Structure 1
């Protein structure tokens, strides 16, 4: 998967947790949260006492079902916060109402895919036992995508993901369930600052489509974020172009494919390193040892290189030229125009799955 030869010159969610919450969250929306069988998230007995159970109940419009969903990550009713009992992150930990403390167990992400995810546990609000009876207790559980974890909640207009990234950690984990632990979500979000236009250009749909397109191509290049380095070690000595004036100071076999886009060749390590302010020519191993550096090299290619295509993948998405043009820019000389339709289809399948997870549409021109 290391086609960059032809292109010369080419863990845990970080959220601004507050030690003290404001009296009422800014950028919030209030209303019912409905889910399984059309029933609502409800405070038992409309009681505001600490420890009151949060349950499923027929929607009735009372104050016990009016939830204030804030862009600060809190979800409140009756002046108190939705809380995971005992600060637990275990499957089956039940939800309750409690004084707002600013704790991570009171912080939530409402995703475009209609999950409500606990930031502390990276688990979803879940109806216990898939039971739609009135009074069924709500809990956190590993996100499964099942109907008993899907909710319609008021839109906040805010996004508690790091830097406003359109992909939450829960969605990232859903995309890459078998990923190598090296490829951390925190590494990705730490890298975003290197290219601030990425997944931040255009409207919400375009931003989500670009993030999905990038991750779909990354998925294909790494076998689902499994491979950190190129698997065919026999190729390693091939990626040194001695015609470059700087040569191969790290060694003849040091510039093999690494990272989410499988960066390879000495001239690409030199160009990426120069752009990022990192000496990758002399220390290419940073790409396989530092998750943030690895992600930065992938974003460097995505945002600045056109490869065998006519535009960068970033421009292809923000100018609505379609996902197919990103394939052309990454590996068009080997896959596009009928050269390898199975590989193209693999990328398209991942893209369609990822846009679904992000709650948007794929747009036109999926193929190259």
Structure 2
């Protein structure tokens, strides 16, 4: 993956993520993860989004790392699953209304990676942002750990989804963890949509903030 420059124009020599999350802490969060999801892959991916876990106070930076990884954990069964486990649903994720179609096949755009990137239009947009041809080779997300993390960071940092702000903005602007849930699943979990799923994310977030020695802050639910 091409490395992005830092916000001040200088290239990163140390990933900002390493400053708030050590490998031992990562291992505590995900003791049974698939070996595919490497700590180094996460560090490599953060170079594409240098503001991630590197904006605001140390408390906020740690909150963002915890919030991102709590949602990742919920989406992937604590990094056990790197792809959608329901093959029967795979053809659903080809949107025929898109002008670029589904060149990799109608069943090729199922969920993959740390936030389960899905739909042909998301593969196209994420690939364009990262300088990768994910529309024609979506399988790269399940072959390359850095890409699996980078597509998740693309969504976290740039997409509001069914919410009103990105996950990154929700934390750095002090709107709370609950708004990160809304950006991923909207009323499917928030506003009473599925309180058990929402609570599971919140439980993980609180657990990870303890591991990172920070406070969870207000606005944890949605």
For the aligned pair, the TM-score class normalised by the smaller chain equals over 0.9
Equivalent of residue 204 in structure 2, options 350, 353, 361: 350
Distance 2:164 2:129 in 1: 21
Give how far 1:332 is off: 1.4
Equivalence for 1:287: 141
Equivalence for 1:98: none
1:167-207: CA deviations, max 9, x gaps? 00000000001101000000000001100000000000000
Equivalence for 2:77: 223
Distance 1:227 1:161 in 2: 28
Equivalent of residue 331 in structure 1, options 157, 178, 185: 185
> Does structure 2 retain, via aligned residues, the 8 Å contact 1:323–1:367?
yes
Give how far 1:242 is off: 1.2
Give how far 1:161 is off: 7.0
SS in 2 for 1:212: helix
> Does structure 1 retain, via aligned residues, the 8 Å contact 2:15–2:46?
no
Gaps of 5+ in 1: 1-159
Flag the structure with higher strand content: 1
> Does structure 2 retain, via aligned residues, the 8 Å contact 1:236–1:253?
yes
Equivalence for 2:48: 194
> Does structure 1 retain, via aligned residues, the 8 Å contact 2:15–2:47?
no
Give how far 1:165 is off: 3.1
Gaps of 5+ in 2: 1-12
TM-score by length of 2: 0.92
Distance 2:173 2:164 in 1: 13
Equivalence for 2:57: 203
1:304-336: CA deviations, max 9, x gaps? 000010000000000000000000001113100
1:269-306: CA deviations, max 9, x gaps? 00000011000000000000100001000000000000
TM-score by length of 1: 0.56
SS in 1 for 2:99: coil
Give how far 1:217 is off: 0.2
Distance 2:192 2:92 in 1: 27
Give the aligned length: 209
Distance 2:186 2:77 in 1: 18
Equivalent of residue 171 in structure 1, options 25, 38, 47: 25
1:222-241: CA deviations, max 9, x gaps? 00000000001100011111
SS in 2 for 1:165: helix
Equivalence for 2:154: 300
Equivalence for 2:8: none
> Does structure 2 retain, via aligned residues, the 8 Å contact 1:221–1:262?
yes
Equivalence for 2:6: none
User: CA RMSD of the aligned region, Å?
Assistant: 1.1
Q: Which has the higher contact order (CA 8 A, sep 6+)?
A: 2
